[in-house]
A and B are shown apart, each in its own frame.
Chain A
Amino acid sequence: MISAFFIFNQKGEVLISRLYRTDFKRSIADVFRIQVVSNSDVRSPIITLGSTSFFHVRINNLYVVAVTKCNANAALVFEFCYRFINIAKSYFGKIDEESVKNNFVLIYELIDEINDFGYPQNSEIDTLKSYITTESIVSSAIAAEESSKITTQATGATSWRRGDVKYKKNEAFVDVVETVNLSMSAKGNVLRADVDGHIQMRAYLSGTPECKFGLNDKLVIDKGERGISDAVELDDCHFHQCVRLHDFDATRTITFIPPDGEFELMRYRSTSNVKLPLRIIPTVTEIGTTQVSYVVTAKANFNNKLSATNVVLRIPTPLNTTTVDCKVANGKAKYVPAENVIIWKIPRIQGGQECTFSGTANLTSMTTRQVWARPPIDVDFQVLMFTASGLIVRFLKVFEKSNYQSVKWVRYLTKASGSYQIRF
C-alpha cells in the first residue's frame, strides 16, 4: 500500500510530506524531484525505480504524489489522490501552492485521518468536516457522546450523512451536466460522438430522507432491443456510494439516502443518437507555400428558444504564420502566435443561427518545407436547458418520516471543453 504521500510545488519543493511506513526516509522526495519535477519529458504518471513506484497527479501548480514499495493497486492510489484533491477543494475552496501552505497543519490532520498505514479510510467530506476543523478544539471539551456520534457515522452504513440535519425549507437541486465529445474527420464523418454525463445534486433535506430518482433511461444491455420512443439509451451508469446498487440492478430504480449538501449522484455515458449542438464546417486551403485561407462556419443545431454561450473556437495555424487577417460578423477573432491558433470567441449563438469566420494566414517562407500536422479545430461552448443525449429527469421523490414537503429544481447543461474536435 501507499508508503508515503507528498505534495510538491512546481519548483520541486516539498509542501507536505507524510511517511506512512518506515520503508522510506523523507529523502525519497529527492528522487521524485530528479525523476519527474526536473524532467521536461515525463511520459507516464507512474515511474518505477527498482521496487519503488511514484504515482503522481498534477493539479494547478502542484504535484500530488504517492510512493509505494509493493505491487500497489494503481487505480486505488490515483483515486486516493483525486479524493485528496476534492477534499482540499472543498475545505479551502481551491487547491494550489498558496492554499496548501496556508493550511498545511490542517492537511496533515486530514491525511492522518483519511489514510492509515497506507490504506485509505473514510474520506467522506461531510463527515470529515464534522470533526476536522480549523477551529481550536479543547480535546476534553468534545463530549464523548458527541464524538461517538461522529465515529458511528464515520464507520456506519451511511457514513456519508449525519443524522441530525435540519432545514427550514427542504430543497433539492439537480443539475444534469453533459460533456459532448466529438471527433469529426476532415470529410465530415463523425468518427466518434458520445456524451459523458454527470448528475450533480445539492440536497438540503432534513432528517434521513429516502430519495427515489427517475430518468427516461432504457439501459439496454442488448442493443438489439428497441426502447420506447423517448427513452434514452445509456451505455453505462456509475453511482455515488449512497445509491443501492442491488436495487438498480434488479429494478433499475435509483434509490438512496443522500449526503447533506453537494455530491455527484451518478455518472453515465451515452453513445447513441447524440445530438450535436454545434455543427462546424471548415474549409481550409493552403495557397502555395505562403498563405492559408480559412472559411469556418458554425451552425447552432437546436431549438431557437435556446442559445449556446461562451463559444470559443480554436483554429490552428501553421507554425510559420506571421499574421492573420480575420473577418467575423459575430464575436471577436484574433491570432494568438504563442499557441499557433486563431481564437474566435462568440458570446452567444441563438438556436438555428449560423456564424462564419473567414481569414487568411500569411506565412514566412521556409528553407525546408515542413508538412503541417493540421491539428483539429477545437470548440468549447455551453448550452443551457439542453441535453445532447436527450436525457430527462422524470421525477425525484423524497420520503421522510416527518413527511415534509420538499421543493425540487432541475437544470440541464450541455457543454464541451477540449474534446469537441473537428479535423480539416
Chain B
Amino acid sequence: MAQAGQDAKFFQRGKIEEFRAELQAAETKDKKFIKRKTALKKIVANITMGNDMSPLFTDVVQCLGTPLLEIKKMVYLFLVSYGRSKPDQIHLVIPNFLQDCNDRNPLIRALAIRTMSYIPIPVVTDALTENLRHCLKDRDPYVRKTAAICVAKLYSADPRRAEKGGFVEMLRDLMLDSNATVVANAVAALSEIGDRHDGVIFKLNLATANKLLAALGESSEWGQIYILDSLLRFVPEKHADAEVMAERIIVQLQHANSAVVLTTIKALLYLMNYMENRRLIDYCCKKMGPPLVTLLSSGPEVQYVALRNILLIIQRRPAVLKNDVKVFFCKYNDPIYVKLAKLEIMYRLARAENASEVLAELQEYASEVDIDFVRKAVRSIGRLAIKVEAAADNCIQALLTLIETKVTYVVQEAVIVIKDIFRRYPGKYEGIIPTLCENMDSLDEPESKAAMVWILGQFSDRIDNADELLDDLLYTFLDESVEVQLALLTAAVKLFIYKSKSDTAKELVHKVLKWATEEVDNPDLRDRGFMYWRMLAVNPAVAGEIVLAEKPAITTDSDRMDRGALDQLLLHTGTLGSIYHKNPETFIRNATGKALTDSPALNPHSRAALVPLPRAQLPPTEINVPGPGPAEPRVLEPELPVPAFSPPAATKPSPPIPSSPGGLKDTDTASSDHDDGDDEPIGAPDPYSNMDGAFGNYLQDEPRPMAVQNHSARQGDIDDLLF
C-alpha cells in the first residue's frame, strides 16, 4: 500500500501574493523541488476551496519546466481549472503541450491530449487537432483510448470542426481496433455524439454490432457498459438476429458490476421486442430475475436504482420475479427511499396466493415511525383489497383495526381507500360506515375529507343522520379547498335526491347551490352548481337518475402503464428516466428521446403500441461524411463491417402501422405471441385508463425531478443551473 499522505496541513486559505512569493522563492535553492511542490499543493487546495487562483497563471505555468511528473500534473490541473478564463495567456503553455504530445512515454502523451481537450478554447484546440489525429493512430492502445474520448470533447466544443477534420470517421475506424478498451471508448464517444441534437446519427449494422460483441469479453466493466448500451442502436431486421445477440449477451447478467447487469437487461428487453422464439423469451425472463434480486444486496443507492427499474420491468414482463414477493419485504433499517420503492413492488406482485403474507407485512409497516411510509402502507392495504378480491375481507378488518388507533394520518388514509373499496364491492362493506362517521372529526386534509363527503352523499339513504353530518361539514364550506367543495356540492344534491321530502335536505341543497353559484370564484364549481340547479329545476326525477347512475366498476388495471409507454421507458433502463418513470426528454434539457424502431422483425403487439418519437427539431444541415463505408444506412452490406452514418434526412421514416410489412403476420402470430401478461386487448375500454388518480393520488410520494426554485433564478434560463 502506498504511504499515507500528510497534505492536510496545506488545506488552508491563503493569499495570492504569498503563493506568488513562495513560487518565486522556489526558483532558487529548491532541493528536490520540495518548495515548489508545497506551493503548488497549497494552490490546488485553494482551488478546491473555491478561491480564485487564476491571477497566478503565469507563475504556475513557469513550473512546467520542472521535471517532476507530480508537478506537471498539478500544473495541468490548474490549467484545466483556469485555462478557459485566460485565452490571452494560454499560448504560454502550448509549447509544453506539444512537447508532451511527442513524449516517448505513452502515459505522458495521453496526459497531454487529455488535458488539452479539457480546455476548449481556439488556441488550444488548434494545437490539439493535428496531434489528436496522430494520437488516434498511436501504436500504444492507452493513447488511442484516450484520444477516442478527446474526439467527444472536441465535438462538444466545436462540432463542425470535428466533422470537417474527419474525426468522426476516425472514431468509426477505432470501433474495429484490435484493443477492446479502445473499441469501448470509441463507442462511448460516438454514442455521446449521436445523442446530440446536432450530432451525426450513430447506428449500428449487424456486422459492426457483432464486432462490438466480440470485443465485449475483453473489455473492462465500464467498456462493457458502453458497448451493451450501444446495442440499442442496432435494429434487428430478422428475429434470428435479435435472438442470437440476446444469447450472446445473456451471460453478462452474471457480472459483479450492477451497471453491467442493468445495461444487459436493458439490451435484452430491447431485443425481446424483435424476437419470435417464445422459449427464448421465457428463458430471458427467467434469467433476469435472480440478478435483479441480487442487486438488492448492493449498497442502498444501487438497491434504489434496481427497485425503481424492477417496478417497470414487472409491469412489462410479469413473468419476471412473479414468485419473489418475499424478497421485497422491508427491513426495519432500510433507508426510507428503499422502503417506499419496495412497497410499490410488493403491491404489484400481490396475488391471491400471497395476499395474506403481503397483508401481514403491510400491517406491520403501518405501525412504523416514518409518516410517508405508514401512509403508503395503509393505502396499499386498501389497494390490495381492490386488487385481490379474496383478501378484501381481511384488508377491511386490518383497516378497521388501524382506524381504532386514532392516529390522524392513518385514519385519513384509511378513509380514502375505503371509499374506493365501497365502489369496488358495492353492497358488501357499507356496514362499517358508522365507524367512519365516528372518526369524521379527525379528517383535516382535503383528499380524506372529500372521500368522507363522497361516502356521506352516496350512502345518505342509509345514514340516518346524514343531513346533520353534512350540515356540520357545510359550516366551513367557503373555506374548504375546491376538491372538498365539489364533493360537498355533489353530496348535498345526492342527499336531496334521496330525501327530497326532508326539509333539512331541501334547505341544505339550496344553501350550497347558492354558495356555489354566487359566492365562489372557481369556474368548475360554479358550472357544476348551475348544472345541478337546472337539472333539479327541470326534472328532479331525471336528475336523480343521472346523479345516482351506476358507476363504472373500479379496477386496478388503471394504475398500470400502457404498453407503448412502458416499451419506451424500458429503453432507458438503469438511467435517471427509469428512476422517475419519465422519458428523459420531458425533464432534461436537450435529452434525446428514444423509441422502438420499426423493422420487419418487430413484434406486432409492440408495433401496435409503438409511441413514435416526435421529431421536434429540424434535421441539421446536411453533413457529408466522406471516406469508406456505406452512405445509405439501410443498405445492408454485411461484408463491410462499418457502422452506418448518414444525415438524418436519409433515415427512413417509420412506416405507418397498417402498411408495414410485418403487419401481414398479425394473423398467424396473434395466437402464439401474447407477451407475458399482455393478453388483454390493447386499448381495453377501461374508463379510468387515462386518469391518473382513479383512486386517489397515492403516487404523491413518487420520486420526481424538482422544479428549480425561484430563489435561484437569475437572468435567463433557470433550468440550466449555471452558477
Q: Which residues of A contact B (CB under 8 A)?
A: 1, 13-17, 19-31, 43-53, 55, 57, 68-76, 78-79, 81-82, 90-93, 98-99, 101-106, 108-109, 112, 116-117, 119-124, 129, 131, 133-140, 142, 144, 147-148, 150-152, 154-157, 159, 181, 183, 185, 191-192, 194, 196, 221, 235-241, 244-246, 248-249, 264, 266-267, 269, 271, 371, 373-376, 378, 418-419, 421, 423
Is B277 part of the binding interface, using a Cβ–Cβ cutoff of 8 Å? no
B425-473 contacts to A, CB under 8 A, are none
> Do A50 and B719 touch across chains, with their CB atoms under 8 A apart?
yes
> Do A138 and B68 touch across chains, with their CB atoms under 8 A apart?
yes
Nearest CB of chain B from residue A40's CB, rounded to whole Å: 13
- Judged by DSSP, the binding face of B is helix
Is B475 part of the binding interface, using a Cβ–Cβ cutoff of 8 Å? no
- Cα(A13)–Cα(B11), bound, Å: 11
> Do A241 and B256 touch across chains, with their CB atoms under 8 A apart?
yes
Chain B 680-723 interface 0/1 with A at a Cβ cutoff of 8 Å (1 = within) = 00000000000000000000000111111000100000111111
> Do A101 and B229 touch across chains, with their CB atoms under 8 A apart?
no
> Do A122 and B220 touch across chains, with their CB atoms under 8 A apart?
yes
Is B575 part of the binding interface, using a Cβ–Cβ cutoff of 8 Å? yes
- Cα(A272)–Cα(B33), bound, Å: 63
Nearest CB of chain B from residue A204's CB, rounded to whole Å: 15
Nearest CB of chain A from residue B446's CB, rounded to whole Å: 23
> Do B108 and A139 touch across chains, with their CB atoms under 8 A apart?
yes
> Do A264 and B256 touch across chains, with their CB atoms under 8 A apart?
yes
Q: Which residues of B contact A (CB under 8 A)?
A: 1-8, 10-11, 32-33, 37, 41, 44-45, 47-50, 67-70, 72-74, 77, 80-81, 84, 103-108, 110, 114, 117-118, 120, 140-143, 145-146, 149, 152-153, 156, 179-182, 185, 188, 192, 195, 217-218, 220-222, 225-226, 229, 250-252, 254-259, 261-263, 286-287, 290-291, 293-294, 297, 299-302, 304-306, 326-327, 329, 331-333, 336-337, 357, 360-361, 364, 367-369, 372, 405, 407, 572, 574-580, 584, 587-591, 703-708, 712, 718-723
> Do B1 and A235 touch across chains, with their CB atoms under 8 A apart?
no
Identify the closest chain A residue to B247 (Cβ).
Answer: A249
Across the A-B interface, the 9 shortest Cβ-Cβ residue pairs: A151-B142, A27-B723, A236-B290, A71-B584, A48-B705, A101-B8, A155-B181, A76-B259, A75-B259
- Cα(A44)–Cα(B37), bound, Å: 41
- Cα(A44)–Cα(B579), bound, Å: 11
- Cα(A134)–Cα(B1), bound, Å: 10
> Do A75 and B574 touch across chains, with their CB atoms under 8 A apart?
yes
Given contacts A48-B706, A119-B188, A376-B332, could you give 20 more A-B pairs where the C-beta distance is less than 8 Å? Answer: A19-B80, A43-B372, A46-B579, A73-B259, A73-B574, A75-B305, A102-B6, A104-B45, A134-B2, A136-B68, A139-B69, A147-B105, A148-B140, A151-B141, A155-B182, A221-B287, A236-B293, A239-B256, A264-B256, A378-B333
Nearest CB of chain B from residue A252's CB, rounded to whole Å: 11
- Cα(A68)–Cα(B590), bound, Å: 13
> Do B708 and A50 touch across chains, with their CB atoms under 8 A apart?
yes
> Do A51 and B721 touch across chains, with their CB atoms under 8 A apart?
yes
- Cα(A368)–Cα(B675), bound, Å: 55
Known contacts A55-B301, A108-B77: A371-B405 contact under CB 8 Å: yes
> Do B143 and A151 touch across chains, with their CB atoms under 8 A apart?
yes
> Do A116 and B327 touch across chains, with their CB atoms under 8 A apart?
no
The residue that B574 contacts in the complex, of A14, A74, A374, with Cβ under 8 A, is: A74
> Do A246 and B251 touch across chains, with their CB atoms under 8 A apart?
yes
The residue that B107 contacts in the complex, of A90, A147, A418, with Cβ under 8 A, is: A147
- Cα(A375)–Cα(B334), bound, Å: 13
The residue that A101 contacts in the complex, of B11, B70, B286, with Cβ under 8 A, is: B11
> Do A25 and B722 touch across chains, with their CB atoms under 8 A apart?
yes
- Cα(A31)–Cα(B591), bound, Å: 22
> Do A72 and B576 touch across chains, with their CB atoms under 8 A apart?
yes
Nearest CB of chain A from residue B212's CB, rounded to whole Å: 15
The residue that A267 contacts in the complex, of B297, B326, B703, with Cβ under 8 A, is: B297
Nearest CB of chain B from residue A159's CB, rounded to whole Å: 6
- Cα(A301)–Cα(B156), bound, Å: 63
Identify the closest chain A residue to B706 (Cβ).
Answer: A49
Known contacts A78-B301, A112-B73, A241-B221: A373-B107 contact under CB 8 Å: no
- Judged by DSSP, the binding face of A is mixed
Nearest CB of chain B from residue A371's CB, rounded to whole Å: 6
- Cα(A133)–Cα(B705), bound, Å: 41
Nearest CB of chain B from residue A35's CB, rounded to whole Å: 8
8 residue pairs bridging A and B, Cβ less than 8 Å apart: A48-B704, A48-B705, A49-B705, A74-B574, A104-B41, A106-B5, A121-B222, A138-B69
- Cα(A79)–Cα(B259), bound, Å: 7
> Do B142 and A249 touch across chains, with their CB atoms under 8 A apart?
no
Residues of A close to B3: CB separation below 8 A: 134
Known contacts A119-B188, A134-B3, A235-B290: A75-B48 contact under CB 8 Å: no
Nearest CB of chain B from residue A213's CB, rounded to whole Å: 14
The residue that A191 contacts in the complex, of B1, B114, B329, B723, with Cβ under 8 A, is: B329
> Do A31 and B712 touch across chains, with their CB atoms under 8 A apart?
yes
Residues of A close to B105: CB separation below 8 A: 139-140, 142, 144, 147
> Do B262 and A75 touch across chains, with their CB atoms under 8 A apart?
yes
Identify the closest chain B residue to A92 (Cβ).
Answer: B4
> Do B572 and A71 touch across chains, with their CB atoms under 8 A apart?
yes
Identify the closest chain B residue to A153 (Cβ).
Answer: B142
Residues of B close to A249: CB separation below 8 A: 250-251, 254
> Do A57 and B588 touch across chains, with their CB atoms under 8 A apart?
no
Residues of B close to A144: CB separation below 8 A: 104-106
Nearest CB of chain A from residue B368's CB, rounded to whole Å: 6
> Do A48 and B8 touch across chains, with their CB atoms under 8 A apart?
no
Known contacts A51-B721, A70-B591, A71-B584: A267-B68 contact under CB 8 Å: no
Residues of B close to A131: CB separation below 8 A: 107
- Cα(A16)–Cα(B49), bound, Å: 8
Residues of B close to A112: CB separation below 8 A: 73, 77, 114
Nearest CB of chain B from residue A132's CB, rounded to whole Å: 8
> Do A119 and B329 touch across chains, with their CB atoms under 8 A apart?
no
Residues of A close to B331: CB separation below 8 A: 181, 183, 419, 421
- Cα(A197)–Cα(B76), bound, Å: 44
Nearest CB of chain A from residue B358's CB, rounded to whole Å: 11
Nearest CB of chain A from residue B208's CB, rounded to whole Å: 20
Residues of B close to A16: CB separation below 8 A: 48
Identify the closest chain A residue to B49 (Cβ).
Answer: A14
